[in-house]
Amino acid sequence: MADTKTGETTAKHYLELSGVASFYGKIQALNGISLFVDQGEIVTLIGSNGAGKSTTLKSISGLVTPKTGSIHFEGKEITQNPAHINAALGIAQVPEGRRIFPRLTVRENLRIGAFLEKNKKVITERMERVFSFFPRLKERLDQQGGTMSGGEQQMLAMGRALMMKPKLLMLDEPSMGLAPIIVEQIFDIIQQMNQEGMTILLVEQNAFQALQIANRGYVIQTGDIVLEGPCQDLLSNQQVRSAYLA
């Protein structure tokens, strides 16, 4: 929030949500949640279906506008920003279900991710960086996205987000519907991205996998944050174990 006398922000974290309440029509999805992500962290948000995980990401990205509360990114309030403004600020979201363009090629899907960049050399450099994480995409550049496997489509969705050169990467259920061996690969790549400096907010139903790689975690239930802390503490918490790790 801002200091009314100086106009300066009092937000202390890279990303900070304070008392955020979001609605779909008259249905309240978030009940005034607060959380933060520091630069260079992996923070995970876990919870059951309908708990408010995706709404939290949409509220940050600008796809849903909170009715109350505030969201700050890099010290600037973005609460009322539309999605295209937040994308330009460096916030990228990989949506649940991947949402690639199935009739476009891998190359075309990736280029859409760099829609804000006009320099062809920069676009080529970003594409090469994507291939460093996902070499399989380079082998399928001219293949239609919809003809690829679920794991390959997830890689493409993540690669498309990386083409934005995001400062904050938000991943919504990246393991959904994937074979266990592909899930392991995806989580290894998420860790690799983080080791190279990427700040990541990870929404996952696979709580064990998420808590294994994240620094800190939040547990959300029916629109409320009910637990938070270092992931090792959450892994040993009996309430978390019985609800999400059994």
Flag whether pLDDT at 178 surpasses 90. Answer: no
Distance CA 38, CA 74 (A): 10
Convert 4-45 into a string of H (helix), E (strand) and C (coil): CCCCCECCCCCEEEEEEEEEECCEEEEEEEEEEECCCCEEEE
Mean pLDDT computed over every residue of the chain: 90
Q: Yes or no: say if 30 and 56 are a contact pair by the CB < 8 Å rule.
A: yes
> What pLDDT band is residue 246 in, cutting at 50, 70 and 90?
low
pLDDT given at position 206:
86
Q: What angle do CA 44, 46, 48 make, to 5 degrees?
A: 160
Digit-coded pLDDT (tens) for 12-57: 899 999 999 999 999 999 999 999 999 999 999 999 888 999 999 9
Residues 6+ apart with CB under 8 A from 240: 46, 207, 219, 227, 234
For residue 126, the tally of other CB atoms under 10 A from its CB is 21
Please answer whether residues 215 and 198 qualify as being in contact, where contact means their C-beta atoms are separated by less than 8 angstroms. Answer: no
The pLDDT, as a whole number, for residue 80 is 96
Q: Is the pLDDT assigned to residue 151 strictly greater than 70?
A: yes
Say what percent of the chain tops pLDDT 70. 96
pTM of the model: 0.89
Confidence of residue 211 (pLDDT cuts 50, 70, 90): very high
* Gap between the Cα atoms of 40 and 38, Å rounded: 6
Q: Residue 169 in contact with residue 200, Cβ under 8 Å?
A: yes
* Residue 169 burial by Cβ neighbours in a 10 Å radius (0-12, 13-18, 19+): buried
Given phi > 0 = left and psi -120 to 50 = alpha, else beta, which region is 68?
beta
Spell out a b/e string for 205-220, using b for 16 or more CB atoms within 10 Å of the CB, else e.
Answer: bbbebbbebbbbbbbb
CATH architecture, domain 1-90+167-246: 3-Layer(aba) Sandwich (3.40)
The crossing angle, in degrees rounded to 10, of helices 106-113 and 120-133 is 120
- 64-118 tens-digit pLDDT: 999 999 999 999 999 999 999 999 999 999 988 778 889 999 999 999 888 888 8
pLDDT score for 9: 52
pLDDT over 80 at 162, yes or no? yes
Q: Check: CB of residue 95 under 8 Å from CB of residue 158.
A: no
Q: Please answer whether residues 169 and 192 qualify as being in contact, where contact means their C-beta atoms are separated by less than 8 angstroms.
A: no
Domain boundaries, the chain: 1-90+167-246, 100-165
At 97 the pLDDT is: 77
